[in-house]
Amino acid sequence: MEQQEKKLIADIKKAAKAGQMNACKVMAKDLVRTRRYVQKFYKMRTSLQGVALRIQTMSSNQQMSTAMRGATKAMKSMNTSMNLPGMQKVLMEFEKESEMMDMKEDLMNDAIDDAMEDDIEDDEEESDQIVQQVLDEIGLQLNDSLGAAPQTVTEQSAVAEGAADAMDDDAALQARLDSLRKE
């Protein structure tokens, strides 16, 4: 239509140059009608675009409604199939069994610790002997390297050695065991 409008304008100019005023008026009315049709065409196109947008919106709403309906049905079936008292009973039973298992595990650990206590005491005694042997060797090496350094024993260390000698080995081990249990 725009091409027709341009053609009419060109024809009006030709007729005006040729002096044909009546033809110019007829073509001018035709031009006005063509412009109105163009405007109506634009309005109609805009209206159709609006309708298409509404249809698309309605289609989207319908799809959402269908999806919501499906989700609602799924939730309803889940709610009806879910036995809340039964689930609570299962969870309470699980908690009870878990506590029983923890108690049995504690009893087993205590029994194992009691059975292994003698071995632990033997291991401690042997490790103490090894440490004492290493310290004695280091003490000898230090004494050899120090040579002529004065060797005096302070009163506190003499008292401590005297007290340690007074205790027999079993009593010392029992004292160590008691102190370890307190910690």
What are the tokens at 133? 């042997």
Looking at residue 88, the DSSP 8-state letter turns out to be: H
2 confidence band (pLDDT: 50, 70, 90) = confident
Residue 16 burial by CB count (10 A; 0-12/13-18/19+): exposed, middle or buried? middle
Better pLDDT: 88 or 129 = 88
- For 150, the 3-state DSSP assignment is coil
Q: Mean pLDDT score of the chain, rounded to an integer? A: 81
Residue 5 in contact with residue 35, Cβ under 8 Å? yes
The per-residue pLDDT for range 40-60, each reduced to its tens digit, is: 999 999 999 999 999 999 999
In this prediction, residue 145 has a pLDDT band, given cuts at 50, 70 and 90, of low
Per-residue pLDDT tens over the stretch 101-138: 999 999 998 888 777 766 666 667 777 788 788 777 77
Token pair, residue 100, equals 């029983």
Tokens 């310290």 correspond to 135
Question: How confident is the model over 168-174, as a mean pLDDT?
Answer: 78
Tell if the pTM clears 0.85, that is, is over it. Answer: no
Phi/psi of residue 168, each to 5°? -80, 170
For residue 64, the model assigns a pLDDT of 95
